[in-house]
A and B are shown apart, each in its own frame.
Chain A
Amino acid sequence: METGFKMPHEFALSIGESFAELLAYSADPAQATYRSRWYLPRKGVGDGLKEALKSLSIDETNEPSIRLTVATSAVERILAQDQGRPPALLVNAGFEGSAHLLNQFITPQFSFRSERRPLPIDNNLVFGVSGKIAPDGSELAPLRLEDLEQIVAKLELVNVRDVAIAFLHSTANPKHELQAAEFLRERGLRPFLSHAMEGTDKKRRAIEAAFAESAVIEEKEEIENALKPFVREWRVVGANGLKEWHHYSAATIRGGLNHALRKLASLEDGIVIHCGLDEFEVYVAGPERHLVTSRIRPTQMVVHGTWPFPYFSETACDYAPGPMLFGKSQVLAAVDTLFVCQHLKEIMGFTPLINEKSRPRILEALFTLAKSSDTAAKPEPIEVAQSLVRAFVEQVAVKLQLSLHEGALAQANSEVQLIGPLAETMRPLLTERRPDLKFVCTPDASWGETFAVAKACESRNGKSATESFG
């Protein structure tokens, strides 16, 4: 970590799936007096914040003067790691058994072993409520509050507080969802309404938010416990912008980090590629900042799957126990191949976790994969790693190429800005792949995510975008 002398008034905190970053600064995040990136499985959010306070010599003798802005991937992490708690689900009576049937199959195209994309619910906690809204929004039958009384009594018995509400045609008329929500709130429960969710799959979103809420609240309380005496203004970035602290909920915060990054990109010209530890995204200039999320993630697992050579699987591993380079896991991931090919540059808070002794084990794993390659000449392990790195870079290059066609290049003078912890790692690789473009990393590029959080409230002309506040 780096410390300075000036008492900072701004804390920008970004919480990724496995790493958290904090910037403490007074006016300009580029002049941060403190920056830290820490590994969440080893040090919680609260502990990292307390360490920052200590380093900055902020104690209870100080007046509460900090303005805190947080963006978090908590919901994504909780869903990926299955750390939430199955919520109750309220549906229209008659549709209690159909929730799972709404899901698409996720198995191969013509598979006879079909599986649906799972929903994080417990079938015993799915309840039907009488009442119906018509497709045109008219009320066919009023909501039966007596049904809700019985449901609340059952939920008290099983100690479930989070309730997803997914009534038919609620986007045409949310009346019944709102009535049910009010009823539940009055009884101390936390409702999640499908009509209020972002995206197209609103019912799934409501269920996922309800599933994640208890863990999200824990994270929020951890932050509050660490910073309460020192913070005068609390803010969280949601999918639609900056929100007041009481909106710190799974229903609101999902997509907040993406919003912050999009906002940061809107302050730049041309194309911005975010090279995060969790995932890569490409942001394109245009009337509406366009986000192209790359499918590739640094933690994407390497397997011998469909193809006659090792390739990245559809799923990513966690950073705990982590890819093989941390020395604890048996799971080979994309970032391991960057490491053994010596492309991985110094990353604060990440590099110290790398166990140099893992290198031979990674090569051993690559050797096993090379042996299983269905190719005439069995490649050397390092050749397998090099091919995977090329594929990794190529995936980003394809997204970049699509972005160039959005018309951003003319504005950018062929410059593409790279931000995020893996920005310096990707710069030479992308330069080799696209010598016609200039890839730029600012000195603070590694802190792109937290910069984005810091700038989430700024508009293009530099003024504070407080209109989105609250």
Chain B
Amino acid sequence: MSVFSGSSAVLHQVFSDALKGLNRGALVDPNGNAVFVNSHAPTDLATLPQTGALCHRYLKLNDGDVALTNDPYSGGTSLSDFTLVRGLRLFKNSAAIDYLLVSRISHPPRLPFHARLDEEGVRVPPTPLVTESQFNRDLLYAIAAHPLAPRRLFESIATELERMDQAVKILKAVADDPRSLFSAAGIKAYLDDSRRVFETFMSRLPLGNATVSQQLRTGETLKLQLRITESQVVFDFTGTDSPTQFGLTDLATFGACWAALVGSYDASIPANTGTFQGVHVSAPTKSFLSASAPTATTRGTSEGVAIVGRLVNQALARLSPSTQLTSAPAGDGCYQFNFEDGRQLTLWPPAGQGARADGPGTDVWAFLQANSRPLSPEEIESSSGVEVVSIDVRKNSGGHGKHRGGHGVAIHLRFTSPCSLIWNDPSLGKTNTGLKGGRAGAPAALEVFRQGTKEREEHLEPTGRLEFAAGDEFYILTGGGGGYGEPKKEPEDE
């Protein structure tokens, strides 16, 4: 079928439907050009295509072959994220594979964070997992049995392979229609139209340069020069320090910049090669935004993404003030509870969004929507030895202002069996200042009430470890976003 005006939108829908069962998935050509990326994680945008291309380059995948890797330095993100790459021959006349289906599975990270990659988990370079329809179970068992491998790795990968089967079934069915838009011409039109979508988006951007920098609490300096011309957006991080505490790969940095750019303008833009072409990221070699082995990446791909995203937003706000977010908690705190019976619960409680120049912040929000699954008390209770006593919006935590900062969340847990907690939450104790007269949002805090006592322990350390006995109670109070603009009247307690 010849392509027509509108065919790209139909094809986009086909890809969305095919990949909707994959939480973090992409359709990529064998050279690593992204046709369609569907993921809530900014770090995936450029890393999924790259993982696909590298696996194919090393392993020469055929139709149905699947490779496995989690290596951040082979296109991955962090060692807790395992990526599967499957070769796809879709068209009858093709001699080799036409595309690669890439899917990434998240597992809880190993806390506390480590400085070296090999301490963060087991590192799996691109490895053949399914070859000529033979699933190498023994190999996967061996990887899953490694002491640093994520729990239930075998099961999660086996499940993901089934999900990929479903996606492949849809893609092959559509490609099997002789008049399908899913053809070389259809894909070309789709990528061309996507590029035009991005060009239209760019025409809305203010032209100019802006320079911002930030001193991180871990000591590094982060510098960004943003240059927006009529044809491209350049994020130049020259001057940024080498890694001390955490690192991001250059591709992960690209994803953080791209997502923060389109997110700042609330733009709905397909993520693919056509829309990536207008964005250039320059991260100096050996800076923590272009980390290389053996630098650890887990912290970088969570906390680091939020830091880069905020800096991008600040730089954009210099050129277009309406996009500015006020200060807000990072919203990327990670809490890991390990119970005596071996069960583990990992929570990423969302925080309040900083108010914008043109409106209030969103309550209980995760920056760039990473880890933004709704908090389900039923899931928490079902998977662990803890009772959720309450979950509620943390009232009055958002900073007052002409536009209020978003409120954080208050989670009250009561332990039913002993456990130990390890956490990493850079927003603990950190005030989220308002802008233009807006008041600060409440800092995040942790509170503990030991069974049989009424004394409150407060914890504001960004990282730590606590032991709990059955009956102890624990509050996670995430921070509120800063307000924007002078409030008309002072807040009354809600």
B260 proximal to A (CB < 8 A): yes
A305 proximal to B (CB < 8 A): yes
Q: B275: shortest Cβ distance to chain A, in Å?
A: 11
| Interface residue stretch chosen among B142-150, B173-181, B339-347 | B173-181
* Interface hits, B303-328 → A, CB 8 Å: 313, 323, 325
Q: A139: shortest Cβ distance to chain B, in Å?
A: 13
A388 proximal to B (CB < 8 A): yes
Interface pair A394/B181, CB less than 8 Å apart: yes
A102 proximal to B (CB < 8 A): yes
Q: B469: shortest Cβ distance to chain A, in Å?
A: 19
| Interface residue stretch chosen among A106-114, A263-271, A273-281, A415-423 | A106-114
B5 proximal to A (CB < 8 A): yes
Closest to B393 in A: A97
**Considering the chains assembled together, what is the distance between the CA atoms of A168 and B382 in angstroms?**
11
* Interface hits, B426-475 → A, CB 8 Å: none
Closest to A379 in B: B5
**Considering the chains assembled together, what is the distance between the CA atoms of A54 and B141 in angstroms?**
75
A405-437 Cβ-contact flags toward B at 8 Å (1 or 0)? 100000000000000000000000000011000
B196 proximal to A (CB < 8 A): yes
Interface pair B196/A306, CB less than 8 Å apart: no
- Residue from B353, B374, B381 in contact with A112 in the complex, judged by beta carbons closer than 8 Å: B353
Interface pair A295/B13, CB less than 8 Å apart: yes
B21-40 Cβ-contact flags toward A at 8 Å (1 or 0)? 00000000000000000001
Closest to A403 in B: B173
| Interface residue stretch chosen among B50-58, B243-251, B263-271 | B263-271
Interface pair B377/A308, CB less than 8 Å apart: no
Q: A157: shortest Cβ distance to chain B, in Å?
A: 23
Q: A7: shortest Cβ distance to chain B, in Å?
A: 49
B65 proximal to A (CB < 8 A): no
Interface pair B5/A387, CB less than 8 Å apart: yes
A98-139 Cβ-contact flags toward B at 8 Å (1 or 0)? 100111110111111111000000000000000010110000
Q: B79: shortest Cβ distance to chain A, in Å?
A: 24
A25 proximal to B (CB < 8 A): no
Known: A105-B369, A113-B356, A390-B6. A308 touches B381 (CB 8 A): no
A215 proximal to B (CB < 8 A): no
Q: Which A residues are in CB contact (< 8 Å) with B368?
A: 110
Interface pair B5/A309, CB less than 8 Å apart: yes
Q: Which B residues are in CB contact (< 8 Å) with A375?
A: 5
Interface pair A101/B364, CB less than 8 Å apart: yes
Interface pair A134/B268, CB less than 8 Å apart: no
A388-412 Cβ-contact flags toward B at 8 Å (1 or 0)? 1011001101100110110000000
Interface pair A405/B374, CB less than 8 Å apart: no
* Interface hits, A88-102 → B, CB 8 Å: 93-98, 101-102
Interface pair A102/B376, CB less than 8 Å apart: yes
**Considering the chains assembled together, what is the distance between the CA atoms of A112 and B266 in angstroms?**
6
Known: A110-B263, A398-B14. A94 touches B196 (CB 8 A): no
* Interface hits, B157-178 → A, CB 8 Å: 169-170, 172-174, 176-177
Q: Which A residues are in CB contact (< 8 Å) with B174?
A: 398, 401-402
Q: Which B residues are in CB contact (< 8 Å) with A104?
A: 374
Q: A141: shortest Cβ distance to chain B, in Å?
A: 10
User: Chain A interface secondary structure, helix, strand, loop or mixed?
Assistant: loop
Interface pair B381/A107, CB less than 8 Å apart: no
| Interface residue stretch chosen among B102-110, B119-127, B285-293, B383-391 | B383-391
**Considering the chains assembled together, what is the distance between the CA atoms of A433 and B177 in angstroms?**
11
Q: Which B residues are in CB contact (< 8 Å) with A312?
A: 9
A374 proximal to B (CB < 8 A): yes
Interface pair B377/A168, CB less than 8 Å apart: yes
Q: Which B residues are in CB contact (< 8 Å) with A94?
A: 388-392, 412
Interface pair B6/A113, CB less than 8 Å apart: no
User: Chain B interface secondary structure, helix, strand, loop or mixed?
Assistant: mixed
A311 proximal to B (CB < 8 A): yes
Known: A112-B266, A401-B177, A433-B179. A95 touches B9 (CB 8 A): no
Interface pair A390/B4, CB less than 8 Å apart: yes
Q: Of B10, B196, B377, which is in contact with the most chain A CB atoms at under 10 Å from its CB?
A: B10
Number of chain B interface residues as a range: 35 or more
A459 proximal to B (CB < 8 A): no
Q: Which A residues are in CB contact (< 8 Å) with B271?
A: 109
Known: A101-B375, A110-B42, A135-B382. A402 touches B391 (CB 8 A): no
Closest to A402 in B: B173
B424 proximal to A (CB < 8 A): no
Q: B201: shortest Cβ distance to chain A, in Å?
A: 9
Q: Which B residues are in CB contact (< 8 Å) with A134?
A: 381
Closest to B196 in A: A308
**Considering the chains assembled together, what is the distance between the CA atoms of A140 and B412 in angstroms?**
17
B200 proximal to A (CB < 8 A): yes
B418 proximal to A (CB < 8 A): no
Q: Which A residues are in CB contact (< 8 Å) with B412?
A: 94
**Considering the chains assembled together, what is the distance between the CA atoms of A427 and B412 in angstroms?**
59
B362 proximal to A (CB < 8 A): yes
Q: A341: shortest Cβ distance to chain B, in Å?
A: 13
Interface pair B267/A401, CB less than 8 Å apart: no
B240 proximal to A (CB < 8 A): no
B372 proximal to A (CB < 8 A): yes
Q: A195: shortest Cβ distance to chain B, in Å?
A: 12
Interface pair A401/B269, CB less than 8 Å apart: no
A284-322 Cβ-contact flags toward B at 8 Å (1 or 0)? 000000000001000000000111110110000000000
Q: B10: shortest Cβ distance to chain A, in Å?
A: 5
Q: Which A residues are in CB contact (< 8 Å) with B197?
A: 306-308
- Residue from B200, B369, B372 in contact with A374 in the complex, judged by beta carbons closer than 8 Å: B200
Interface pair A111/B263, CB less than 8 Å apart: yes
Closest to B173 in A: A405
Known: A306-B270, A404-B173. A395 touches B374 (CB 8 A): no
Known: A112-B325, A398-B10, A402-B173. A98 touches B5 (CB 8 A): no
* Interface hits, B337-367 → A, CB 8 Å: 353, 356, 359, 362-365
Interface pair A394/B375, CB less than 8 Å apart: no
A-B contact pairs, 20 of them (CB 8 A): A94-B389, A95-B391, A101-B375, A101-B391, A109-B40, A109-B262, A109-B268, A110-B368, A114-B369, A168-B377, A306-B268, A306-B269, A307-B193, A309-B5, A311-B6, A312-B9, A387-B4, A387-B6, A394-B6, A398-B13
User: A308-B193, A309-B6, A398-B14 given. 14 additional CB < 8 A pairs?
Assistant: A94-B388, A98-B391, A105-B369, A108-B268, A113-B266, A114-B353, A114-B369, A169-B381, A306-B269, A311-B6, A387-B6, A398-B177, A405-B173, A433-B1
Top 6 closest A-B pairs, CB basis?
A94-B390, A110-B263, A391-B6, A97-B392, A405-B173, A108-B268
CB within 8 Å of B: which residues of A? 93-98, 101-105, 107-115, 132, 134-135, 140, 168-169, 295, 305-309, 311-312, 373-375, 379, 383-384, 387-388, 390-391, 394-395, 397-398, 401-402, 404-405, 433-434
